[in-house]
Structure 1
Amino acid sequence: MSSEQHPAMILHQLTTEFLAAEDKKQLYFRLLNRSISLCGYKRAVLFKVDGKRAKFQAVSGKSGVDSYSEMVEKWEKLASSVTEKDSPQQLSVSSFPAKEAAHWQFLSDHTNGLSVYWLPIKPWGKTRYVLWFERWEQDEWAERDLQLLSLVGVSAKSAFERLEPETLCRRISGKLFSWRRFLVSIVVLLAVLLSWRVPLRVVAPCEIIPEDPFIVTAPLSGVVSEVFVESGDQVKVGSQLFGYDPRVVNEELKIAQHQVNMLETTMTNTGFEALKRAKAKAELSILRFRLEQEKIRLQMAEYRASMLNVRADVPGSIIVDNPDEWRGRPVEVGQKVLMVVDPQNINLRIWLPEADNVNFSNSTEVKVLLNAFPDDSLNAHLKYVAQSVSVSPEGVPSVMAEGTFADLADRADEKLRIGLKGSAVLYGDKVSVAYWLLRKPWASARRIMGI
């Protein structure tokens, strides 16, 4: 076997060993300890390159090294200060800035004259690893030695590509990501979050309600016998709405009429006797007073009887709960039974959660998203915001607000039906994006932690 073939056979064997490595730790060991069979050196160190920083990975002849040791620290500082990391080169004291030259001198003194060959490894075309080969005692590198070690770099490149297959994410991150870009992006993002101002956005449940509804209340205390209308019915003035059970009222009316008739007959008889007896005149005065009282009771009974059937005082559309549930229900005077509304006059009721009661003005625009029509939105203006907190229909402490629709004339009547619910989007004062994002988490943290 000739001397020309021997390095080739060794290189072939090394390449086979590198490619057969099961993981990177095994590859590190073979790179650092088996490459000496191709070209002699005293020590080999492997670094991983991340931007300008070179991080120590392994050293020949040792299975493990304290990554915080003084020697590792000097190696990392020297490797990180190499300006042309992508180029194979021989390093000397002149290859480093004056600040790092002291570290080189330290290593040179401990090796009686240090000579280093810098060999980058470029899997997928980017320098990700570097082999640092050392010769001591002023033993210089020959051109043939550098050529043989360069072939080691080619074999190592293929081995790393097998263990670190290139994926789409790796390709993108390899082109776009670096610590400098990451830090610059963070600074730019923070500057944007602190300087860019956007309107404070609040989303609250809402409902379409009638404007100035006519509330029909119970005129008498009694039992409702039947409700003659249903929600959505159109009524005119005088239309019958609901009626009372008439039995008690009619009985009271009969008793009052009987009392009046009986007192009138008694007064007539007493009037004849008053012509004969003086005592009858005194009785007549008492009977007259009692008759006046009974006539007043009769008038009240007649009024109650006239109110047994409640009729509409204004035209409009009916809003009432389930009419069947009113049948047989006792009511008190003034109790709400139903409403008569104008479907064309509507308002927007908004329940602002207590935590979202920020500053709003009467000119605040409101974007309304109805649950029944998720593909469309309506525009409204805030009319007022209450000053007190109440409980919303969902049981959430909220502040009630009302708004008016801005484009009723452009909308179909059937789209804005009373009772439709949805979400109202309100925009308050302009705040920074950071405040816009962190307002609720910050408030929750303060509430939980008491800070």
Structure 2
Amino acid sequence: MAIQISQDALRPKADISASALKLLQFEADIRRCSKRDELIFHLANQLSRLIPYDLAFVFEQGGRKRRHVLLSNNVAEIEKSSPLIYKLNQWASLDVSLNEAKPYPIKEVLGEEHDLPYECTYWQPIAAESGHGDSCLFVLLFSNFAYSEQQQALLSRLAETYEHAFRAIEAKPNKARLSRGKSRFLKLSFAAVLVAACAIPLPMSVMAPVQVIAKDPYIVTAPFNGVIKSINIAPNTYVDQGQTLLNFEDIQMRNEYLIELQRLAVAKANFEKTQGESFTSGEGKYQLNAVRAELSLALVETRYRREQLDRTQMKASRSGLVIYADKEALEGKAVQVGERILQVAQPGQIQYQIDLPSAQSMAFESGAKISIYLDSAPLGGHEAQLESVSYLPTVTQEGVASFTVLASPTVGKTPKIGARGTARIYAEHAPLIWHVLRRPVNTVRQWMGI
């Protein structure tokens, strides 16, 4: 009869004690600590899982070899002014030979007079001086019994594990300092580049609204006080010389002309009568000069009324493009003598009118470069040069006191008269920092009256 033996029965049994598993788990917990404070808290409060004690104090050694208490078990924060902490700090700092693990009588640590109900203490360096730096950790354990050799060996083993974790965490700030050093270098480099960039000379410039206007247009103004009867030419229409542009109401002018014609006829008849009587009567000779003067005056009045009547029909004195805003707004409008009605301009002869706010005014040279960005061509493509700047500012329709800047085109296709946009006027060169601070400085100076 064959005997079957399972494979599991042939495998050797792993004999791992519970204490070893507990130690491995404890060391794994230590390695999971990623921060210094977390590791110190674990040392003060979790060490009791393997080493029995009643009270634990974690010490740190800083500069001048002075050691002080960092943390105690079951306490969130150390009261540095308490007598116990003062005695512990004094004892740990005076005794410079505490780099070895060793039990100490409690009377040697706290003196003859103390009120702690413990008999033994054990001093265990965790991260002592060993060429790794000046930062060191120690732990002082209080208990009512002395530790055995096995417990001391276990403490030594755990101290090595804590030291390894502590040194690993302590090394991380070095990378941080290196990163901070690089960051500081980059910041200084950026600051140096920024300072150098602030000294770069750039042309100063201002932006202002611009409009395309006709150059040297023929301005049609009202020859007398009257009412516009009709506009014969549509806006933006080309007219020939002598073509009728508009008509005024002529009823009054025509009636006055007819009256003057009647007066002229009466004056002529009176003159002929007096002239005939002057041959036969001496009195007629004396009246002849007065009647002749009345006839001359009637002729002048008649010519004047005729000229006024002819002016009710205004004609183009030259060929060109008729420019005005709205036909309906002009027809039936009462105008005063000299008031502008429309203008006749040459389509190819244009210039730019820029309304420069007085708050942005600066010194411009004749012929200064101007970039034009019309609404119909926002990417630019038009250049001009400065011709003149008005001496005094005027208030625009928007209520802004502005200087009138006239510029002639130099580059780009001739835009349509009436087109609007934005112009950039370039002035003298100045450092970049002044471009940034010019307006704030001017505002502060105006506010402070400097």
- Whether TM exceeds 0.5 here: the answer is yes
1:334 is the counterpart of 2:338: yes
Residue in structure 2 matching 1:184, options 183, 188, 197: 188
1:234 is the counterpart of 2:238: yes
Paired residue secondary structure (1:258): helix
What pairs with 1:104-143 in structure 2 (closer than 5 Å)? 109=93, 112=96, 133-134=137-138
Deviation at 1:183, TM superposition (A): 4.4
Letter in 2 for 1:424: A
Deviation at 1:262, TM superposition (A): 1.1
1:308 is the counterpart of 2:312: yes
Rg larger for: 2
8 Å contact 2:213–2:351 — kept in the other structure? yes
Deviation at 1:441, TM superposition (A): 2.4
8 Å contact 2:230–2:331 — kept in the other structure? yes
Aligned residues: 369
Further displaced range: 434-443 or 239-248: 434-443
Deviation at 1:265, TM superposition (A): 1.6
Deviations 1:355-397 (A, max 9, x none): 3322332343222111112244222222233332223443322
Deviation at 1:294, TM superposition (A): 1.5
Letter in 1 for 2:417: I
Paired residue secondary structure (1:361): coil
Deviations 1:227-259 (A, max 9, x none): 111221001110111111110111110110111
The two structures have a TM-score, normalised by structure 2, of 0.68
1:384 is the counterpart of 2:388: yes
CA distance in 1, matches of 2:29, 2:158: 19
What pairs with 1:18-29 in structure 2 (closer than 5 Å)? none
Deviation at 1:214, TM superposition (A): 1.3
1:8 is the counterpart of 2:12: no
Deviation at 1:292, TM superposition (A): 1.6
Q: Tell me the C-alpha RMSD between the 2 structures.
A: 4.3
8 Å contact 1:112–1:136 — kept in the other structure? no
1:218 is the counterpart of 2:202: no
Deviation at 1:418, TM superposition (A): 0.8
1:398 is matched with which residue?
Answer: 402
Letter in 1 for 2:164: S
1:433 is matched with which residue?
Answer: 432
Paired residue secondary structure (1:238): coil
Letter in 1 for 2:25: M
8 Å contact 2:384–2:410 — kept in the other structure? yes
8 Å contact 1:45–1:132 — kept in the other structure? yes
Deviations 1:78-128 (A, max 9, x none): xxxxxxxxxxxxxxxxxxxxxxxxxxxx99735655658669xxxxxxxxx
8 Å contact 1:32–1:60 — kept in the other structure? no
Letter in 2 for 1:147: T
Deviation at 1:197, TM superposition (A): 2.4
8 Å contact 1:113–1:136 — kept in the other structure? no
CA distance in 2, matches of 1:447, 1:25: 57
Cα separation, partners in 2 of 1:151 and 1:118, compared to 1, 3 Å: closer
> Which residues of structure 2 form unaligned runs of 5+?
1-16, 63-68, 82-89, 100-124, 129-133, 142-154, 173-177
Deviation at 1:195, TM superposition (A): 2.4
Cα separation, partners in 2 of 1:438 and 1:291, compared to 1, 3 Å: same
Letter in 1 for 2:45: R
Paired residue secondary structure (1:224): strand
Paired residue secondary structure (1:261): helix
Cα separation, partners in 2 of 1:148 and 1:242, compared to 1, 3 Å: same
2:369 is matched with which residue?
Answer: 365
Cα separation, partners in 2 of 1:195 and 1:34, compared to 1, 3 Å: farther
CA distance in 2, matches of 1:251, 1:401: 48
2:267 is matched with which residue?
Answer: 263
Cα separation, partners in 2 of 1:346 and 1:12, compared to 1, 3 Å: same
CA distance in 2, matches of 1:203, 1:318: 30
> Which residues of structure 1 form unaligned runs of 5+?
48-57, 71-105, 120-129, 161-173
Residue in structure 2 matching 1:146, options 146, 155, 160: 160
